Amino acid sequence: MKITSLLAAGLTALSLTAGAAAAQEVKIGIAAEPYPPFASLDAAGNWVGWEVEVINAVCAAAELDCVITPVAWDGIIPSLTGSQIDAIMASMSITEERMKTIDFSDKYYDTPTVIVADKSMDIAATPESLAGKILGVQGSTIHQAYAQKYFTDAAEIRVYQTQDEINQDLAAGRIDATQADAIAMADFVNSDAGACCEIKGAVANDTSILGLGVGAGVRKGDDALREKLNAGIAAILADGTYEKITAGYFSTSIYGG
């Protein structure tokens, strides 16, 4: 009887331990600011978009219990290093500068960086063409870093908190152009709000600033989570889930070469 009771107690404890492990959450940080078509709030207040679906698919494939956690973009890396979140999946490019502070998973998409302006303006994605113009960029992004390196001598660089604010000022004529991700801007120029504008071309690539694609950011040394995310990314690329999600938003692949 005593052995049976001890065995039962041991099994109960084991069950509770397993349950606690299964319930462990991985907080995936996304930008609190809308960034369609990658992530935005629907009418019911739920986060939707291509990147949200990819997050859910990667976590399912990696057998991670993930919770999407919105964080203001300019504080998202401090939130990771300070352990308020466990990973970042917020269209964050893998750059040399960021790799000094955090580690990254393998990339899960890679798209060009473009200049967008009013259709009536004769603007190209070059410093010469942007001379004397006002260029809007989102702060704490690769676009701000790139514009400040290549366009400062020619254009006035105006820094904003969100890309949505930039798009509003661009449509209203308060700035002349913006630099941003090609896919996000294609979504804007194809909308009613962005009907004024068009993509003028891609900027010259500089991987030291623009990075090596978009990956999931994790804390330095968190190799276990990084490898699980890598496994999840590889799995959805291999089984067609990635392509299926992408086809619901884009007409072509955005994974890159």
Whether 25-110+212-247 shares its CATH topology with 113-210 is answered yes
Q: How confident is the model at residue 1 (pLDDT cuts 50, 70, 90)?
A: very low
Token readout for 121 is: 């303006």
Mean predicted confidence (pLDDT) in 60-86: 97
Domain boundaries, the chain: 25-110+212-247, 113-210
Q: How confident is the model at residue 24 (pLDDT cuts 50, 70, 90)?
A: low
Please name every residue paired with 198 in a beta bridge, in sequence order, or none if there are none. Answer: 117
- Looking at the chain, list the stretches that DSSP marks H as alpha helix, in order from N- to C-terminal side: 2-22, 50-61, 76-81, 142-150, 163-172, 182-189, 207-210, 223-238, 241-247
The per-residue pLDDT for range 221-232, each reduced to its tens digit, is 999 999 999 999
Mean pLDDT check: name the lowest of 7-16, 56-65, 73-82, 197-206: 7-16
Single out the residue of 45, 46, 43, 65 nearest to residue 56, CA to CA: 65
* pLDDT score of 22: 58
Q: Does the pLDDT value for residue 249 go beyond 90?
A: yes
119 with 197: CB under 8 angstroms?
yes
Tell the CATH topology of 113-210.
Answer: D-Maltodextrin-Binding Protein; domain 2 (3.40.190)
Integer Cα distance of 257 and 14 in angstroms: 47
Element (H, E) at 82: none
Integer Cα distance of 141 and 145 in angstroms: 7
* pLDDT score of 40: 96
The per-residue pLDDT for range 152-177, each reduced to its tens digit, is 999 999 999 999 999 999 999 999 99
* pLDDT score of 2: 42
The per-residue pLDDT for range 109-143, each reduced to its tens digit, is 999 999 999 999 999 999 999 999 999 999 999 99
Contacts of 85 (CB under 8 A, 6+ apart): 27, 28, 29, 69, 71, 76, 79
Q: How confident is the model at residue 103 (pLDDT cuts 50, 70, 90)?
A: very high
Q: Does the pLDDT value for residue 202 go beyond 90?
A: yes
Q: How confident is the model at residue 20 (pLDDT cuts 50, 70, 90)?
A: very low
Tell the CATH topology of 25-110+212-247.
Answer: D-Maltodextrin-Binding Protein; domain 2 (3.40.190)
Mean pLDDT check: name the lowest of 100-104, 216-220, 233-237, 252-256: 252-256
Q: How many residues in total does the chain contain?
A: 257
Mean predicted confidence (pLDDT) in 4-20: 45
